[in-house]
């Protein structure tokens, strides 16, 4: 707050993040222009006028940039992030929906297209978010919970590197192979349990290290210790969802919460909190605008067909912020 006391300071910083080599017109690609008295830019190529925030996540925001910056600071640098209700209280933002939508806009910028996949030695497993379902076959039959794939790099001689988490439609070979292809670099050594869904992943270019639970039990080892890395990451994520967000995450929004968890986990050893803040803003200013309707309806895992009207389960609208309060665009 000392660095960015006014919106003009925030605009300067965003300008530097967006155009480190100087103004580039988003319309015509021309390099070079003038800054106008009102803070906007005038393109010398096409005569167009634009602003630093146009075409970014901050496009047309009615929330002051100083409030955005503080929200981003709390979001990126607090150990457990921030919930919409604490953000609303901390910043004295008028409505819960505004705080809620700001956080969802920040979450939606975190996944950079083409980011590097995990490599080296990687543990992979699935877990249910929202609690285990005891008594189901192998813990893998789907109940009401969301099934989530977890992958984490193992470091030598000990410790963990980066992780990835993403919802899975089911624990079939097709879903697990798609998860691996998205998140783990071919050539990596992939450690899994004995689940048949992982059979034959060597064909995808992985070196497969299967750890059989039955064999562990026969050796007198605890089968729960076979994949300590993924279990550690999964339990941290569950604790975070239950703590900061009090478990109030609906399946439609789970992917973006998982992205937030992964973003912070992968930067947990970053020595400078300022760098994490910088990175989040850099992604935000490079990301196209996120419409409110894109936040309230997020894509579900591909193989899950939408529930037909009158179908079972809670309508998604129950999980949204209360609609009886007037909505103010963030």
Find the binder of Zn ion among 30, 211, 231, 316 (CB under 5 A).
Answer: 30
Q: Does 51 bind Zn ion (CB under 5 A)?
A: no
30 or 279: CB nearest Zn ion: 30
Question: Residue 38 CB, nearest distance to Zn ion (Å)?
Answer: 18
Structure tokens of 127?
């877990």
Nearer to Zn ion, 46 or 216 (CB): 46
Residue-wise DSSP of 313-330: S--GGGGSPPTTSPP---
Tell me if 26 contacts Zn ion by CB under 5 A.
no
Considering the rule CB under 5 A, would residue 43 count as an interface residue with Zn ion? Answer: yes
Verify binding: residue 208, Zn ion, rule CB under 5 A.
Answer: no
**Phi–psi pair at 3, nearest 5 degrees:** -75, -30
Q: How far apart are CA 129 and CA 214, in angstroms?
A: 25
Question: Per CB under 5 A, does 45 bind Zn ion?
Answer: yes
Q: Which value, to the nearest 10 degrees, does the dihedral of the CA atoms of residues 259, 81, 284, 51 take?
A: 160
Nearest-approach distance from CB 43 to Zn ion, in angstroms: 3
Sheet containing strand 146-154, edge to edge, reads 160-167, 146-154, 121-129, 189-193, 207-211
Q: Is 40 in the site for Zn ion (CB under 5 A)?
A: no
Query: For Zn ion, which stretch binds (CB under 5 A), given 40-48, 72-80, 197-205, 212-220?
Result: 40-48
Q: Work out whether 90 is an interface residue with Zn ion (CB under 5 A).
A: no
Q: Per rule CB under 5 A, is residue 36 in the interface with Zn ion?
A: no
Is 125 within 8 Å of 230 (Cβ atoms)? yes
Q: Which two tokens stand for residue 232?
A: 């550690």
Binding-site member from 9, 12, 27, 170 for Zn ion (CB under 5 A): 27
Q: Which of 25, 72, 190, 276 binds Zn ion (CB under 5 A)?
A: 25
Q: How far is the CB of 26 from Zn ion (least distance, A)?
A: 8
Q: Which of 282, 288, 109, 251 lies closest to 166, judged by CA?
A: 251
Q: Give me the residue whose beta carbon is nearest to Zn ion.
A: 25
Q: Which of 37-45, 62-70, 107-115, 121-129 is the region at the interface with Zn ion (rule: CB under 5 A)?
A: 37-45
| H or E stretch covering 161 | strand 160-167
Q: What crossing angle do the helices spanning 273-285 and 7-18 adopt, rounded to 10°?
A: 80
Nearer to Zn ion, 43 or 109 (CB): 43
Considering the complex, state which of residue 14 and residue 25 has its C-beta at the smaller distance from Zn ion: 25
Q: Is 46 in the site for Zn ion (CB under 5 A)?
A: yes
Element (H or E) spanning 284, and its range? Answer: helix 273-285
Q: Is 28 in the site for Zn ion (CB under 5 A)?
A: yes
Element (H, E) at 164: strand 160-167
Q: CB of 285: closest distance to Zn ion in angstroms?
A: 18
Identify which of 95, 329, 125 has the alpha carbon closest to the alpha carbon of residue 210: 125
Smallest gap from residue 80 Cβ to Zn ion (A) = 43
Compare residues 45 and 321 and give the one whose CB is closer to Zn ion. 45
**Among the listed residues 180, 118, 141, 146, the one whose alpha carbon sits nearest the alpha carbon of residue 258:** 146
Neighbouring C-alpha atoms within 13 Å toward the C-beta of 38: 5
Residues near Zn ion, by CB under 5 A: 25, 27-28, 30, 43, 45-46, 48
């Amino acid at each position: 707050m000392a660095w960015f006391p006014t919106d003009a300071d925030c605009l300067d910083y965003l300008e530097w993040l967006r155009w480190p080599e100087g103004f580039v017109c988003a319309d015509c690609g021309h390099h070079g222009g003038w800054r106008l008295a009102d803070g906007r830019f005038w393109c010398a190529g096409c005569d167009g006028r634009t602003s630093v925030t146009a075409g970014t996540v901050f496009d047309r925001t009615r929330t002051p940039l100083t409030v955005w910056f503080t929200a981003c600071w709390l979001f990126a640098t607090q150990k457990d992030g921030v919930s919409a209700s604490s953000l609303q209280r901390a910043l004295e933002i008028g409505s819960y929906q505004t705080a809620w939508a700001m956080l969802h806009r920040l979450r939606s910028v975190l996944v950079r297209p083409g980011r590097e996949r995990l490599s080296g030695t990687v543990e992979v497993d699935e877990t249910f978010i929202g609690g285990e379902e005891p008594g189901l076959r192998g813990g893998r039959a789907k109940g009401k919970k969301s099934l989530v794939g977890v992958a984490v790099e193992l470091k030598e001689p000990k410790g963990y590197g980066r992780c990835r988490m993403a919802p899975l439609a089911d624990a079939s070979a097709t879903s697990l192979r798609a998860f691996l292809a998205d998140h783990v670099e071919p050539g990596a050594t992939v450690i899994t349990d004995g689940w048949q869904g992982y059979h034959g992943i060597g064909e995808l270019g992985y070196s497969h290290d299967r750890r059989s639970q039955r064999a562990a039990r026969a050796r007198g080892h605890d089968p729960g210790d076979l994949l300590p890395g993924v279990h550690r990451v999964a339990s941290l994520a569950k604790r975070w969802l239950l703590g900061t967000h009090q478990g109030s995450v609906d399946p439609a929004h789970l992917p973006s919460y998982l992205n937030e968890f992964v973003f912070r986990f992968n930067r947990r050893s970053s020595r400078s909190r300022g760098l994490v803040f910088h990175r989040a803003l850099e992604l935000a200013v490079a990301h196209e605008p996120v419409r409110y309707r894109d936040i309230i309806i997020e894509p579900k895992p591909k193989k899950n067909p939408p529930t037909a009207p009158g179908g079972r389960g809670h309508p998604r609208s129950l999980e949204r912020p209360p609609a009886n309060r007037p909505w103010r665009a963030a």
